[in-house]
């Protein structure tokens, strides 16, 4: 399975598919100042926005990951998901931002499987996190919820979500809180990686193997961004980088051969599919080690 290149910032934005705010005021003031807490320092790190866009564009979105599982006839199971009540134990902005990304990825999975009854608990927790992080003003929650109830509105939902995330990211950077954006991106990626590796452990397939192996390059690109914040003597980021470096070490055994595709044809909408595909080479033994390490790192981070 080749990796789809989504539009810039699509990964995180697609993860916010089902946000709900009930009586929240979505009019929001773009000039609201983020009030820092004790655990996340104000940082002057200004990462390259275009570089960040390129990193996110190389991700498989949570919805794409979940769609792969559903297309492979993998039955829905809540055992792959993080307990949404867990975030009530998150007292720091660092954990809240990371948790926001993680729960958002789980929402992508729930959305693809149309599990509306389970979605409510995740919406409640995500609303709590966005309120705590002073980010609720960047999402028109009622509209997002309405669009998310219909597959026919997926394109409109994506466009609207991308705009919301871009505004939020700019706000965080302007208030010297770009580290929170990086944490949300990391949370989405890690949870998506965990989801597909857990399924692959129980139901091995070439598609799952290729998807997992292709994350080697994604993590390679993501780590330098996280290291920028770790250099600011942030112990939380230093520990996060240390954990992800361990995962990178086991992913380094993967070989990826990018090949040009032949006879590329446009879709009905006139947009051409990507003219290349990644051929992932990884042994069964190496794959088991990747799955085991991903599980260990994931559980350490969420707890």
The pLDDT tens digits of the residues spanning 258-279 come to: 877 766 566 555 555 556 777 8
pLDDT(29) > 50: no
Q: How far apart are CA 111 and CA 126, in angstroms?
A: 15
Mapped onto helix, strand or coil, the DSSP state of residue 124 is helix
Question: What pLDDT shows up at residue 13?
Answer: 38
Q: How far apart are CA 209 and CA 206, in angstroms?
A: 5
Q: How far apart are CA 111 and CA 55, in angstroms?
A: 24
pLDDT confidence of 136, banded at 50, 70, 90?
confident
Question: What pLDDT shows up at residue 213?
Answer: 92
Q: Single out the residue of 121, 144, 189 nearest to residue 26, CA to CA.
A: 144
Most confident of the ranges 6-15, 166-175, 226-235, 292-301: 292-301
Q: Is 173 in contact with 60 (CB distance < 8 Å)? A: no
**pLDDT (mean) for 41-59:** 60
pLDDT confidence of 126, banded at 50, 70, 90?
confident
Average pLDDT, the chain: 75
Pick 123 or 40 by higher pLDDT. 123
Pick 260 or 100 by higher pLDDT. 100
Q: How far apart are CA 122 and CA 236, in angstroms?
A: 25
Q: Is 42 in contact with 176 (CB distance < 8 Å)? A: yes
Question: What pLDDT shows up at residue 198?
Answer: 94
Share of the chain above pLDDT 70, in %: 63
pLDDT in tens, 248-257: 999 999 998 8
Pick 263 or 18 by higher pLDDT. 263
pLDDT confidence of 190, banded at 50, 70, 90?
very high
Cα–Cα separations (whole angstroms), residue 16 to 90, 163, 282? 20, 12, 32
pLDDT in tens, 145-158: 665 555 555 555 55
**pLDDT (mean) for 125-149:** 74
Q: Is 274 in contact with 2 (CB distance < 8 Å)? A: yes
**pLDDT (mean) for 115-139:** 80
Residue 208 tokens read as 């799952």
Question: What pLDDT shows up at residue 10?
Answer: 36
Domains of the chain: which residue ranges? 10-22+50-302
pLDDT in tens, 206-236: 989 999 998 998 899 889 889 988 876 678 9
Q: Single out the residue of 55, 65, 102, 88 nearest to residue 300, CA to CA.
A: 102
Question: What pLDDT shows up at residue 23?
Answer: 32
Q: How far apart are CA 33 and CA 14, in angstroms?
A: 26
The secondary structure of residue 48, as a DSSP letter, is -
């Amino acid at each position: 399975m080749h990796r789809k290149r989504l539009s810039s910032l699509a990964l995180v934005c697609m993860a916010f598919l089902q946000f709900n705010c009930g009586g929240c005021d979505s009019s929001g003031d773009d000039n609201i100042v983020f009030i820092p807490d004790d655990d996340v320092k104000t940082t002057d790190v200004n990462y390259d926005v275009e570089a960040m866009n390129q990193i996110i564009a190389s991700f498989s979105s949570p919805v794409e990951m979940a769609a792969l599982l559903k297309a492979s006839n993998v039955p829905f199971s809540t055992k792959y998901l993080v307990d949404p009540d867990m975030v009530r134990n998150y007292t720091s902005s660092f954990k809240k931002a990371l948790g926001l990304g993680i729960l958002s990825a789980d929402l992508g999975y729930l959305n693809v499987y149309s599990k509306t009854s389970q979605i409510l608990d995740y919406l409640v927790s995500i609303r709590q996190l966005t309120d705590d992080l002073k980010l609720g003003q960047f999402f028109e929650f009622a509209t997002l919820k309405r669009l998310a109830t219909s597959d026919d509105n997926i394109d409109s939902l994506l466009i609207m979500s991308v705009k919301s995330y871009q505004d939020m990211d700019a706000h965080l950077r302007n208030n010297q809180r770009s580290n929170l954006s990086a944490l949300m991106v990391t949370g989405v990626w890690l949870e998506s990686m965990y989801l597909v590796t857990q399924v692959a452990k129980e139901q091995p397939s070439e598609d799952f193997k290729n998807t997992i192996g292709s994350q080697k390059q994604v993590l390679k690109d993501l780590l330098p961004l996280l290291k920028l914040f770790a250099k600011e003597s942030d112990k939380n980021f230093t520990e996060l980088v240390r954990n992800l470096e361990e995962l990178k070490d086991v992913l380094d055994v993967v070989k990826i051969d990018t090949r040009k595709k032949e006879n590329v044809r446009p879709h009905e909408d006139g947009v051409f599919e990507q003219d290349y595909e990644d051929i992932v080479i990884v042994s069964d033994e190496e794959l088991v080690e990747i799955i085991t390490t991903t599980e260990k790192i994931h559980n350490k981070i969420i707890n």
